[in-house]
Amino acid sequence: MSRKSIILLGLSAVVTAAAAGWVLITPDNPLTDFFRRKISDVDARIVIGPYPGEEDFRLLKQHKVGLIVSLLNPAIPYEGTLLEREQALAAKYQIPLKSFPMSSILGQKFGNEYDTSAERAATAIASSPEKVYLHCYLGLHRIQSVRNLLAARGVQAGTYSVRAGERDKASSLTDMAEAAYNNRQYQAALDALAKIDENQLTGNARILRAWSYYRIGNVPQAHALFQSLLSVDPGSAQAAIGLGYCAYRQNDYATAEQQFQAALRSLPDDADALGGLGLTYYRADRLDEAAAKLEAALKLTPDNQELRDILERVRAKR
């Protein structure tokens, strides 16, 4: 082989390696984009998809995502580069980011941290009060492991595309209702949900409607809606929590305890269920158990002044 041929082969190898590297650290390139799963969402609460570029960050911010959960593994060189880039974008758009490194090749997991990281990611998502974006590299394999764990806890993830920013009327009204609820405008939330056809209400919208009735003091209507949700999905932790609070408000502490315990079997780190159980034990004068549950809830939601006040009363009575 001539010297010229050797040089050409060397240059070709360098160019090929550089091109491969560029493809890996640019997941939205035309080649990789063919395999990437598009960004999707379930019930306007948990969004799933591939590594987010800046355009995606703008859309996620627009759709009020309050937490990003990344499954990229910085021990993999190109994923380490992408994670650094993502951390910079998260800081720019002021969206908190949590990293739970997982590694897989063509869907086959490897590394001792895989299952542990998946569990930790699922726990962080299930206990977060914020809307969450969960992603890996292409949005294909690693997130499925976390989705399976979330499904086992009664938490769904992923259905409609937001890449084009196009939302149907029902989804937009649900977002309006959610925003009103978060601003404690519970009647406004109900008014927005009332404009949606019953057969177009998502599970999240139905939960939101039930909680809105609870917040305006219509406990019987809230109870009926939570019960309806539980009859459709007997494993719904959110419906069980709602029924627990309804029973608590109606001074039925035995039923409240039963519902909160059922929810905690699916979501052991749910602050609402822990707090509700703590309140129930307090009303039932089971002070040691009340203190334990309230303290556990406050570790997850340290700014909950209502629970903090009740805990002080429990300690005083003890």
The string of pLDDT tens digits covering residues 27-62 is 444 433 433 445 555 445 788 888 888 888 888 888
Indicate the SS3 state at residue 105.
strand
Residue whose entry in the numeric block shows the structure tokens 């004068």 = 285
Higher pLDDT, 284 or 38: 284
**Cβ-based neighbour number of residue 236 at 10 Å:** 23
Q: Per mean pLDDT, which range of 69-78, 153-162, 246-255, 307-316 is the poorest?
A: 153-162
Report the alpha-carbon distance of residue 56 to residue 74 in Å, rounded.
21
Q: pLDDT tens digits for 57-100?
A: 888 888 889 999 999 888 887 788 889 999 999 999 899 999 99
Residues 6 or more apart whose Cβ sits within 8 Å of residue 96: 66, 67, 68, 90, 130
Phi-psi domain of 154 (left: phi exceeds 0; alpha: psi -120 through 50; beta: other): left
Strand ranges, E, within 23-177: 40-42, 46-49, 65-70, 97-99, 103-105, 108-110, 131-135
The per-residue pLDDT for range 123-139, each reduced to its tens digit, is 899 888 888 999 887 66
**148-168: average pLDDT:** 58
Q: Give the position of tokens 């939101």.
A: 208
- Distances, alpha carbon 270 to alpha carbons 3, 209, 266, in Å: 68, 20, 9
Report if pTM > 0.85: no
Residue 235's closest CA among 272, 276, 266? 266
- 3-state helix vs strand vs coil in the chain, percent to 5: 60, 10, 30
68: which 2 tokens? 């990003």
The one-letter amino acid at 302: P
Q: State how far the Cα of 230 lies from the Cα of 234, in Å rounded to an integer.
A: 5
